[in-house]
Amino acid sequence: MIPCQRDMFDLPENVTYLNCAYTSPLLKTAQQAGRTAIQAKANPWTIKADDFFSNAETARGLFARLVDCKPDNVAIVPAVSYGIALAARNLPVARDQSIVILQDQFPSNVYPWMRVAHEKNAVVKTVQRPPDSDWTPAVLEAVDSDTAVVAVPNCHWTDGTLLDLVKIAEKCRKVQAALVVDGIQSVGAMPFSMERVQPDFLVAASHKWLLGAYSFGFCYVSPKWHGGTPLEENWFNRAGSEDIARLVDYRESYQPGARRYDQGEASNFILAPIAAAGIRQILEWGVENISQTLQSKTDAIADLAQKMGLNVAAAHVQAPHMIGVSKPDGFKKDLPLLLAKENIFVSVRGESVRISPHVYTTDEDINRLFAVLEKVTD
Protein backbone atom coordinates (compact mmCIF):
# COMPACT_ATOMS: atom_id res chain seq x y z
CA MET A 1 0.00 0.00 0.00
CA ILE A 2 1.22 3.49 -0.88
CA PRO A 3 0.66 6.25 1.70
CA CYS A 4 -1.15 9.35 0.46
CA GLN A 5 1.02 11.17 -2.10
CA ARG A 6 -1.05 14.36 -2.35
CA ASP A 7 1.99 16.56 -1.73
CA MET A 8 3.50 15.29 -4.99
CA PHE A 9 0.65 16.95 -6.93
CA ASP A 10 -0.59 20.51 -7.11
CA LEU A 11 -3.98 19.81 -5.53
CA PRO A 12 -5.54 22.41 -3.20
CA GLU A 13 -6.91 21.03 0.06
CA ASN A 14 -10.46 22.10 -0.82
CA VAL A 15 -10.48 20.19 -4.13
CA THR A 16 -11.71 16.60 -4.25
CA TYR A 17 -10.48 15.25 -7.57
CA LEU A 18 -11.90 11.79 -8.25
CA ASN A 19 -11.56 11.98 -12.01
CA CYS A 20 -8.23 10.47 -13.05
CA ALA A 21 -10.04 8.45 -15.73
CA TYR A 22 -10.94 11.82 -17.31
CA THR A 23 -7.41 13.19 -17.14
CA SER A 24 -4.85 13.10 -14.37
CA PRO A 25 -3.26 16.00 -12.56
CA LEU A 26 0.44 16.37 -13.26
CA LEU A 27 3.09 15.42 -10.76
CA LYS A 28 5.17 18.35 -9.60
CA THR A 29 8.19 16.62 -11.13
CA ALA A 30 6.34 16.45 -14.46
CA GLN A 31 5.45 20.13 -14.21
CA GLN A 32 9.12 20.95 -13.68
CA ALA A 33 10.13 18.75 -16.62
CA GLY A 34 7.65 20.67 -18.76
CA ARG A 35 8.96 24.05 -17.59
CA THR A 36 12.53 22.99 -18.35
CA ALA A 37 11.46 21.83 -21.80
CA ILE A 38 9.61 25.08 -22.51
CA GLN A 39 12.68 27.06 -21.49
CA ALA A 40 14.78 25.01 -23.90
CA LYS A 41 12.35 25.87 -26.71
CA ALA A 42 12.60 29.52 -25.69
CA ASN A 43 16.37 29.13 -26.18
CA PRO A 44 16.45 26.81 -29.22
CA TRP A 45 20.22 27.03 -29.63
CA THR A 46 20.37 24.73 -26.59
CA ILE A 47 18.51 21.97 -28.46
CA LYS A 48 21.00 19.57 -30.04
CA ALA A 49 20.41 17.22 -32.95
CA ASP A 50 20.73 14.24 -30.59
CA ASP A 51 17.83 15.61 -28.52
CA PHE A 52 15.43 14.78 -31.34
CA PHE A 53 16.05 11.11 -30.64
CA SER A 54 16.98 10.99 -26.96
CA ASN A 55 13.62 12.43 -25.81
CA ALA A 56 11.64 9.83 -27.73
CA GLU A 57 13.94 6.97 -26.78
CA THR A 58 13.80 7.83 -23.08
CA ALA A 59 9.99 7.83 -23.06
CA ARG A 60 9.87 4.73 -25.25
CA GLY A 61 12.22 2.83 -22.97
CA LEU A 62 10.29 3.74 -19.83
CA PHE A 63 7.00 2.58 -21.33
CA ALA A 64 8.67 -0.65 -22.45
CA ARG A 65 9.77 -1.26 -18.86
CA LEU A 66 6.25 -0.57 -17.63
CA VAL A 67 4.60 -3.19 -19.89
CA ASP A 68 7.60 -5.55 -19.90
CA CYS A 69 8.60 -5.51 -23.54
CA LYS A 70 11.56 -4.37 -25.61
CA PRO A 71 11.79 -0.71 -26.71
CA ASP A 72 11.92 -2.01 -30.29
CA ASN A 73 8.27 -3.03 -29.87
CA VAL A 74 7.02 0.46 -28.93
CA ALA A 75 5.91 3.25 -31.28
CA ILE A 76 5.33 6.84 -30.21
CA VAL A 77 1.79 7.94 -31.06
CA PRO A 78 -0.26 11.07 -30.30
CA ALA A 79 -3.45 9.29 -29.20
CA VAL A 80 -5.15 5.94 -28.82
CA SER A 81 -7.03 6.61 -32.06
CA TYR A 82 -3.69 6.73 -33.91
CA GLY A 83 -2.58 3.37 -32.50
CA ILE A 84 -5.93 1.73 -33.25
CA ALA A 85 -5.72 3.12 -36.79
CA LEU A 86 -2.27 1.50 -37.12
CA ALA A 87 -3.78 -1.82 -36.10
CA ALA A 88 -6.72 -1.38 -38.47
CA ARG A 89 -4.38 -0.64 -41.38
CA ASN A 90 -2.10 -3.61 -40.79
CA LEU A 91 -4.21 -6.49 -39.48
CA PRO A 92 -5.71 -8.75 -42.13
CA VAL A 93 -9.52 -8.88 -42.30
CA ALA A 94 -11.27 -10.91 -44.98
CA ARG A 95 -14.77 -10.70 -46.41
CA ASP A 96 -17.48 -11.83 -43.96
CA GLN A 97 -15.04 -12.09 -41.06
CA SER A 98 -16.00 -10.38 -37.80
CA ILE A 99 -14.40 -7.71 -35.64
CA VAL A 100 -15.49 -8.06 -32.02
CA ILE A 101 -16.03 -4.94 -29.89
CA LEU A 102 -18.08 -4.05 -26.79
CA GLN A 103 -21.35 -2.20 -26.44
CA ASP A 104 -20.68 1.48 -25.67
CA GLN A 105 -16.95 1.05 -26.31
CA PHE A 106 -14.97 4.28 -26.63
CA PRO A 107 -15.32 5.67 -30.19
CA SER A 108 -11.58 5.65 -30.92
CA ASN A 109 -11.74 1.85 -30.80
CA VAL A 110 -14.94 1.63 -32.85
CA TYR A 111 -14.78 4.00 -35.82
CA PRO A 112 -11.62 2.48 -37.39
CA TRP A 113 -13.23 -0.96 -37.30
CA MET A 114 -16.42 0.34 -38.84
CA ARG A 115 -14.34 1.64 -41.74
CA VAL A 116 -12.44 -1.65 -42.09
CA ALA A 117 -15.71 -3.59 -42.06
CA HIS A 118 -17.12 -1.31 -44.77
CA GLU A 119 -14.00 -1.54 -46.94
CA LYS A 120 -13.49 -5.30 -46.53
CA ASN A 121 -17.17 -6.35 -46.48
CA ALA A 122 -16.61 -7.64 -42.95
CA VAL A 123 -18.87 -7.43 -39.91
CA VAL A 124 -18.55 -5.51 -36.64
CA LYS A 125 -19.90 -7.82 -33.93
CA THR A 126 -20.90 -5.85 -30.83
CA VAL A 127 -21.02 -7.73 -27.53
CA GLN A 128 -23.94 -6.41 -25.48
CA ARG A 129 -23.43 -5.63 -21.83
CA PRO A 130 -24.41 -8.70 -19.76
CA PRO A 131 -26.92 -8.15 -16.94
CA ASP A 132 -24.17 -8.87 -14.38
CA SER A 133 -21.57 -6.77 -16.29
CA ASP A 134 -19.29 -9.82 -16.55
CA TRP A 135 -17.96 -9.14 -20.03
CA THR A 136 -15.51 -12.03 -20.34
CA PRO A 137 -17.91 -14.95 -20.95
CA ALA A 138 -19.87 -12.85 -23.43
CA VAL A 139 -16.73 -11.93 -25.38
CA LEU A 140 -15.49 -15.53 -25.37
CA GLU A 141 -18.83 -16.65 -26.81
CA ALA A 142 -18.62 -14.01 -29.55
CA VAL A 143 -15.15 -15.11 -30.70
CA ASP A 144 -15.26 -17.95 -33.19
CA SER A 145 -13.55 -19.29 -36.31
CA ASP A 146 -14.87 -16.32 -38.32
CA THR A 147 -13.28 -13.73 -36.02
CA ALA A 148 -10.45 -11.67 -37.51
CA VAL A 149 -9.91 -9.12 -34.73
CA VAL A 150 -10.96 -8.68 -31.12
CA ALA A 151 -10.62 -5.00 -30.19
CA VAL A 152 -11.38 -4.44 -26.52
CA PRO A 153 -10.14 -2.61 -23.41
CA ASN A 154 -8.94 -4.16 -20.15
CA CYS A 155 -11.84 -2.47 -18.39
CA HIS A 156 -14.87 -0.60 -19.72
CA TRP A 157 -14.31 3.14 -19.83
CA THR A 158 -17.76 4.03 -18.48
CA ASP A 159 -17.62 2.13 -15.20
CA GLY A 160 -14.42 0.09 -14.87
CA THR A 161 -16.03 -3.32 -15.34
CA LEU A 162 -13.31 -5.84 -16.15
CA LEU A 163 -12.38 -8.10 -19.01
CA ASP A 164 -10.08 -11.06 -18.45
CA LEU A 165 -7.59 -10.42 -21.22
CA VAL A 166 -5.66 -13.61 -20.50
CA LYS A 167 -8.70 -15.79 -21.21
CA ILE A 168 -9.71 -13.67 -24.21
CA ALA A 169 -6.16 -13.84 -25.60
CA GLU A 170 -6.15 -17.62 -25.29
CA LYS A 171 -9.37 -17.81 -27.29
CA CYS A 172 -7.97 -15.42 -29.90
CA ARG A 173 -4.89 -17.58 -30.38
CA LYS A 174 -7.06 -20.68 -30.64
CA VAL A 175 -9.07 -19.25 -33.55
CA GLN A 176 -6.10 -17.26 -34.98
CA ALA A 177 -7.72 -13.88 -34.36
CA ALA A 178 -5.71 -10.74 -33.61
CA LEU A 179 -6.09 -9.01 -30.24
CA VAL A 180 -6.03 -5.21 -30.03
CA VAL A 181 -6.12 -3.71 -26.54
CA ASP A 182 -7.10 -0.14 -25.73
CA GLY A 183 -5.10 0.29 -22.53
CA ILE A 184 -5.69 3.97 -21.84
CA GLN A 185 -7.93 3.22 -18.85
CA SER A 186 -5.74 0.52 -17.32
CA VAL A 187 -2.02 0.69 -18.14
CA GLY A 188 -0.25 2.26 -15.18
CA ALA A 189 -3.07 1.57 -12.71
CA MET A 190 -3.47 -2.20 -12.84
CA PRO A 191 -1.01 -5.02 -13.58
CA PHE A 192 -0.70 -6.20 -17.17
CA SER A 193 1.14 -9.33 -18.27
CA MET A 194 2.60 -8.97 -21.74
CA GLU A 195 3.78 -12.57 -21.57
CA ARG A 196 0.33 -13.98 -20.76
CA VAL A 197 -1.79 -11.67 -22.94
CA GLN A 198 0.52 -11.36 -25.97
CA PRO A 199 -1.55 -8.71 -27.74
CA ASP A 200 -0.97 -7.83 -31.36
CA PHE A 201 -1.35 -4.14 -30.52
CA LEU A 202 -1.65 -2.38 -27.15
CA VAL A 203 -2.25 1.37 -27.08
CA ALA A 204 -2.13 3.78 -24.14
CA ALA A 205 -2.19 7.57 -24.17
CA SER A 206 -0.22 9.36 -21.49
CA HIS A 207 -2.66 11.81 -19.95
CA LYS A 208 -4.73 9.48 -17.75
CA TRP A 209 -3.21 6.68 -15.67
CA LEU A 210 0.32 7.30 -16.98
CA LEU A 211 0.19 10.74 -15.29
CA GLY A 212 1.45 12.53 -18.40
CA ALA A 213 0.23 15.16 -20.82
CA TYR A 214 -2.39 15.20 -23.56
CA SER A 215 -1.44 14.32 -27.15
CA PHE A 216 1.36 11.88 -26.35
CA GLY A 217 1.19 8.11 -26.03
CA PHE A 218 2.55 4.69 -26.87
CA CYS A 219 1.65 1.73 -29.04
CA TYR A 220 3.07 -1.73 -28.44
CA VAL A 221 3.32 -3.65 -31.72
CA SER A 222 3.98 -7.38 -31.72
CA PRO A 223 7.13 -8.28 -33.68
CA LYS A 224 5.00 -10.21 -36.18
CA TRP A 225 3.67 -6.85 -37.45
CA HIS A 226 6.96 -4.94 -37.60
CA GLY A 227 7.01 -5.11 -41.38
CA GLY A 228 3.72 -3.27 -41.84
CA THR A 229 2.70 0.07 -43.32
CA PRO A 230 2.90 3.27 -41.22
CA LEU A 231 0.06 5.78 -41.16
CA GLU A 232 2.41 8.51 -42.30
CA GLU A 233 5.77 8.88 -44.00
CA ASN A 234 8.01 11.20 -42.02
CA TRP A 235 11.73 11.79 -41.82
CA PHE A 236 11.94 10.55 -38.24
CA ASN A 237 10.81 6.97 -38.89
CA ARG A 238 13.22 6.36 -41.79
CA ALA A 239 16.49 4.50 -41.33
CA GLY A 240 19.54 6.70 -40.81
CA SER A 241 17.54 9.79 -39.90
CA GLU A 242 19.85 10.38 -36.92
CA ASP A 243 22.21 11.99 -39.46
CA ILE A 244 20.08 15.08 -39.94
CA ALA A 245 22.61 16.62 -42.33
CA ARG A 246 21.96 13.77 -44.79
CA LEU A 247 18.15 13.61 -44.69
CA VAL A 248 18.04 14.25 -48.43
CA ASP A 249 19.69 10.87 -48.96
CA TYR A 250 16.21 9.37 -49.24
CA ARG A 251 15.86 5.77 -48.12
CA GLU A 252 13.33 3.02 -48.67
CA SER A 253 14.01 1.40 -45.29
CA TYR A 254 12.55 2.36 -41.93
CA GLN A 255 13.85 2.58 -38.39
CA PRO A 256 13.98 -0.84 -36.68
CA GLY A 257 11.00 -2.54 -35.09
CA ALA A 258 7.90 -0.56 -34.18
CA ARG A 259 9.74 2.73 -34.71
CA ARG A 260 8.57 2.65 -38.33
CA TYR A 261 5.14 3.53 -36.90
CA ASP A 262 6.31 6.59 -34.95
CA GLN A 263 4.23 9.70 -35.47
CA GLY A 264 5.77 12.78 -37.04
CA GLU A 265 7.57 14.96 -34.46
CA ALA A 266 7.76 12.01 -32.06
CA SER A 267 10.66 13.75 -30.35
CA ASN A 268 8.15 16.18 -28.81
CA PHE A 269 10.49 18.25 -26.67
CA ILE A 270 7.78 19.30 -24.21
CA LEU A 271 5.38 16.36 -23.94
CA ALA A 272 7.95 13.54 -24.00
CA PRO A 273 9.77 14.70 -20.83
CA ILE A 274 6.41 15.13 -19.06
CA ALA A 275 5.40 11.61 -20.09
CA ALA A 276 8.75 10.24 -18.93
CA ALA A 277 8.40 11.90 -15.52
CA GLY A 278 4.99 10.30 -15.00
CA ILE A 279 6.14 6.79 -15.92
CA ARG A 280 9.30 7.09 -13.79
CA GLN A 281 7.17 7.76 -10.75
CA ILE A 282 4.78 4.92 -11.57
CA LEU A 283 7.75 2.56 -11.85
CA GLU A 284 9.07 3.81 -8.52
CA TRP A 285 5.75 3.20 -6.78
CA GLY A 286 5.14 -0.07 -8.63
CA VAL A 287 1.97 -0.83 -10.54
CA GLU A 288 1.01 -3.65 -8.18
CA ASN A 289 1.26 -1.25 -5.23
CA ILE A 290 -0.75 1.40 -7.08
CA SER A 291 -3.42 -1.15 -7.91
CA GLN A 292 -3.71 -2.40 -4.33
CA THR A 293 -3.85 1.15 -3.00
CA LEU A 294 -6.58 2.18 -5.41
CA GLN A 295 -8.48 -1.06 -4.74
CA SER A 296 -8.80 -0.04 -1.10
CA LYS A 297 -10.25 3.29 -2.19
CA THR A 298 -12.76 1.87 -4.67
CA ASP A 299 -13.77 -0.75 -2.08
CA ALA A 300 -14.57 2.09 0.33
CA ILE A 301 -16.51 3.88 -2.42
CA ALA A 302 -18.49 0.73 -3.21
CA ASP A 303 -19.34 0.23 0.47
CA LEU A 304 -20.59 3.80 0.92
CA ALA A 305 -22.52 3.65 -2.35
CA GLN A 306 -24.34 0.47 -1.37
CA LYS A 307 -25.20 1.92 2.03
CA MET A 308 -26.88 4.78 0.14
CA GLY A 309 -28.89 2.32 -1.94
CA LEU A 310 -26.81 2.93 -5.06
CA ASN A 311 -25.73 0.21 -7.49
CA VAL A 312 -22.20 -0.97 -8.19
CA ALA A 313 -20.90 -3.97 -10.11
CA ALA A 314 -19.91 -7.11 -8.22
CA ALA A 315 -16.39 -6.94 -6.83
CA HIS A 316 -15.05 -9.76 -9.03
CA VAL A 317 -15.88 -7.85 -12.24
CA GLN A 318 -14.69 -4.45 -11.02
CA ALA A 319 -11.34 -2.88 -11.88
CA PRO A 320 -9.28 -1.83 -8.86
CA HIS A 321 -8.87 1.82 -9.85
CA MET A 322 -12.23 3.08 -11.13
CA ILE A 323 -15.83 2.33 -10.33
CA GLY A 324 -19.23 3.16 -11.74
CA VAL A 325 -22.06 4.06 -9.36
CA SER A 326 -25.65 4.15 -10.61
CA LYS A 327 -29.04 4.95 -9.09
CA PRO A 328 -32.13 2.81 -9.68
CA ASP A 329 -34.14 5.80 -10.91
CA GLY A 330 -31.14 7.66 -12.33
CA PHE A 331 -29.18 10.67 -11.12
CA LYS A 332 -30.08 14.26 -11.86
CA LYS A 333 -28.62 15.38 -15.17
CA ASP A 334 -26.93 18.32 -13.51
CA LEU A 335 -25.21 16.17 -10.87
CA PRO A 336 -21.66 16.92 -12.13
CA LEU A 337 -22.38 20.64 -11.90
CA LEU A 338 -23.83 20.29 -8.40
CA LEU A 339 -20.73 18.42 -7.30
CA ALA A 340 -18.38 20.85 -9.03
CA LYS A 341 -19.91 23.71 -7.05
CA GLU A 342 -18.56 21.90 -3.99
CA ASN A 343 -15.15 21.42 -5.68
CA ILE A 344 -15.83 17.71 -6.16
CA PHE A 345 -14.98 16.35 -9.58
CA VAL A 346 -16.20 13.09 -11.12
CA SER A 347 -17.54 12.08 -14.55
CA VAL A 348 -20.89 10.83 -15.76
CA ARG A 349 -20.49 8.13 -18.40
CA GLY A 350 -23.61 6.41 -19.67
CA GLU A 351 -25.85 5.66 -16.69
CA SER A 352 -22.97 5.70 -14.21
CA VAL A 353 -21.19 8.25 -12.13
CA ARG A 354 -17.60 7.20 -12.79
CA ILE A 355 -15.34 7.67 -9.77
CA SER A 356 -11.61 7.30 -10.32
CA PRO A 357 -9.26 8.04 -7.41
CA HIS A 358 -5.47 7.92 -7.30
CA VAL A 359 -2.71 7.95 -4.73
CA TYR A 360 -3.49 11.60 -3.93
CA THR A 361 -7.03 10.68 -2.81
CA THR A 362 -7.72 10.88 0.92
CA ASP A 363 -10.45 9.32 3.06
CA GLU A 364 -11.78 12.85 3.51
CA ASP A 365 -12.15 13.18 -0.28
CA ILE A 366 -14.32 10.06 -0.42
CA ASN A 367 -16.39 11.08 2.58
CA ARG A 368 -16.91 14.56 1.10
CA LEU A 369 -18.21 13.04 -2.13
CA PHE A 370 -20.83 10.94 -0.37
CA ALA A 371 -21.83 13.68 2.03
CA VAL A 372 -22.68 15.88 -0.96
CA LEU A 373 -24.22 13.00 -2.91
CA GLU A 374 -26.64 12.41 -0.05
CA LYS A 375 -27.70 16.04 -0.14
CA VAL A 376 -28.14 16.36 -3.90
CA THR A 377 -29.76 12.97 -4.61
CA ASP A 378 -32.63 13.19 -2.09
pLDDT at position 350 is 77
pLDDT at 6: 97
Residues 367, 265 share a domain: no
- Tell me the pTM: 0.96
**Of 360, 371, 365, whose CA–CA distance to 4 is shortest?**
360
| Residue 303 sits in the same domain as residue 216 | no
Number of domains in the chain: 2
Residue 234 placed within a domain: yes
pLDDT band at 378 (very low <50, low <70, confident <90, very high): low
Residue 336: per-residue pLDDT: 87
Asked if 130 and 167 sit in the same domain, the reply is: yes
Q: pLDDT tens-digit profile of 247-270?
A: 999 999 999 999 999 999 999 999
- Please write the tens of the pLDDT for every residue from 70-122: 999 999 999 999 999 999 999 999 999 999 999 999 999 999 999 999 999 99
CB atoms < 10 A from the CB of 351, how many?
A: 15
In which domain, by residue range, is 180 found?
30-284
Q: Among 3, 50, 17, which Cα is nearest to 355's?
A: 17
- Out of 255, 284, 313, pick the residue that ends a domain: 284
- Let me know if residue 23 belongs to a domain: no
- The whole-chain average pLDDT of the chain stands at 96
The residues, any chain, with a CB within 8 Å of residue 119's CB and separated by 6 or more, are none
In terms of domains, do 66 and 78 share one?
Answer: yes
Instruction: Answer yes or no: do 132 and 235 share one domain.
Output: yes
**pLDDT tens digits, one per residue of 197-247:** 999 999 999 999 999 999 999 999 999 999 999 999 999 999 999 988 899
Together in a domain, 291 and 361 = yes
- What is the mean predicted confidence (pLDDT) over 146-168? 97
| 84: CATH | 3.40.640.10
pLDDT digits (tens, 9 = 90+) for 328-360: 888 888 888 899 999 999 998 877 899 999 999
Query: Are residues 112 and 166 located together in one domain of the fold?
Result: yes
Q: Where does a domain end: 248, 268, 284?
A: 284
Dihedral (Cα; 193, 197, 200, 205), 10-degree rounding: -40
